[in-house]
């Protein structure tokens, strides 16, 4: 079978060939352990890691020493939330998050709740937004941390981080954001957005899987975390374990490439995304956009198709790689919890598809996907009794 057109870049991205080329030497001749500083092999590995640390920091306006390398955004979320909560337990026990967060955040705060912390889970509006006013109203004198994602992984909604961060800092509360989806796609700046902890993932920005980072603010305020992994004191004692030098080097270059191409790539993807959206809605009736038209990731498009099932759409679209929601919950028969939290009825939530456009998506591929979606939806609706009733009602309404 021919290779499908890849439109699942919110789940993962293809590693950029330039990143692969940069990583290859670190698997072979430059194989030293970055902690073995007593010989040249280790010192060269450390140089590679520190170069990457500076590249990751530059992407979000941080300082290199504020970057802690991890195995990915899930570990970074755990270290940020559990590390901050356990360290600050003597002065507070209240955490704030939102109903549409990634499970790496939601499951972690649930674990903290079982350990005695109190959690406020904010609702979202019909486009998936949390407002600064909601956050301010939820903060109490026992609140120690707010965690809100920069961009939603299913519907692409962007939160107003700067306004929320200003409130958190004014109230003396730490502010964490899971930026796995946003980093490298939209501008992030830890200073202007008042961010204290930021989770990052390489494989969401054309880097390798299995490597990520956590930004930990060092001044105004100095953020202190309880380590989750013990054993060796790597990464200034915050994350023990031998560093993944090839992955880290690739992560660093991926960040540098994203930083250099961000503005032009965001504009290109927004144009392609809108072409995909309008091409589908002009060809098919009963299509609903999930999330905002503006204030969303440039490459994200989430649509619901009335009178069909998302699983049937996936089966029919064999030539297109898309998903029905988060890659972490794609095997679940339940409707997307993100869409349900946005107030979307269960039937439409079950009939949703997420299209993730990326660096390697072309205009020709968008045109082909429009045609394929139109073909498959039309075929499925011909077999749908619900659509037959809808069409009959429409005919009766037109003749009356």
- Give catalytic residues, as residue numbers: 328
**Regarding beta strands 67-70 and 212-216, do their DSSP bridges make them parallel or antiparallel, or are they unpaired?**
antiparallel
Helices (H), the chain: 17-23, 40-60, 73-87, 103-114, 132-138, 161-170, 245-283, 310-316, 337-341, 346-350, 363-382, 385-399
Q: Which two tokens stand for residue 148?
A: 């809100």
Instruction: Tell me the C-alpha to C-alpha distance, in Å, between residue 39 and each of 27, 123, 210, 250, 393.
Output: 18, 54, 27, 23, 79
Q: What backbone torsions phi and psi does residue 399 show, to the nearest 5 degrees? A: -90, -10
- Tell me which residue has tokens 């609706």: 381
Q: Give, in degrees to the nearest 5, the angle at Cα 239 between 38 and 39.
A: 10
Residue 102 in contact with residue 338, Cβ under 8 Å? Answer: no
Instruction: Tell me the C-alpha to C-alpha distance, in Å, between residue 36 and each of 33, 48, 111, 131, 242.
Output: 5, 13, 36, 48, 10
| Among 386, 306, 385, residue whose Cα is nearest residue 353 | 306
Q: Which two tokens stand for residue 88?
A: 């600050």
């Amino acid at each position: 079978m021919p290779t499908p057109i890849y439109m699942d870049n919110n789940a993962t991205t293809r590693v950029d060939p330039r990143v692969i080329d940069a990583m290859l030497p670190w698997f072979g001749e430059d194989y030293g352990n970055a902690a073995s500083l007593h010989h040249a092999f280790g010192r060269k590995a450390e140089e590679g890691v520190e170069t990457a640390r500076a590249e990751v920091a530059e992407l979000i306006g941080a300082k290199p020493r504020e970057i802690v390398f991890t195995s990915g955004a899930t570990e970074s979320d755990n270290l940020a939330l559990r590390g901050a909560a356990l360290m600050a337990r003597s002065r507070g026990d209240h955490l704030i998050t939102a109903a549409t967060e990634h499970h790496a955040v939601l499951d972690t705060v649930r674990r903290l709740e079982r350990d005695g912390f109190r959690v406020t889970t904010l609702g979202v509006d019909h486009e998936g937004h949390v407002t600064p006013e909601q956050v301010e109203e939820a903060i109490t004198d026992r609140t120690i941390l707010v965690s809100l994602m920069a961009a939603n992984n299913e519907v692409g909604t962007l939160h107003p981080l700067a306004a929320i961060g200003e409130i958190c800092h004014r109230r003396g509360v730490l502010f964490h954001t899971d930026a796995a989806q946003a980093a490298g796609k939209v501008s992030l700046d830890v200073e202007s957005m008042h961010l204290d902890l930021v989770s990052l993932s390489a494989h969401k920005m054309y880097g390798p899987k299995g490597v990520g980072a956590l930004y930990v603010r060092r001044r105004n305020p100095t953020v202190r975390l309880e380590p989750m992994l013990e054993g060796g004191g790597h990464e200034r004692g915050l994350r023990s374990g031998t560093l993944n030098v090839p992955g880290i080097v690739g992560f660093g270059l991926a960040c540098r490439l994203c930083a250099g191409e961000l503005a032009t790539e965001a504009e290109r993807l927004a144009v392609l995304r809108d072409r995909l959206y309008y091409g589908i809605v002009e060809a098919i009736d009963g299509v609903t956009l999930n999330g905002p038209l503006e204030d969303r990731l440039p490459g994200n498009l989430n649509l619901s198709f009335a009178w069909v099932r998302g699983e049937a759409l996936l089966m029919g679209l064999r030539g297109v790689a898309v998903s029905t929601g988060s890659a972490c919950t794609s095997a679940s028969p339940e409707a997307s919890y993100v869409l349900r939290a946005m107030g979307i009825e269960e039937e439409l939530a079950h009939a949703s598809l997420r299209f993730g456009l990326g660096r390697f998506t072309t205009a020709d591929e968008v045109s082909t996907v429009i045609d394929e979606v139109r073909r498959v939806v039309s075929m499925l609706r011909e077999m749908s009794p619900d659509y037959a009733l809808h069409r009959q009602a429409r005919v009766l309404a037109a003749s009356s």
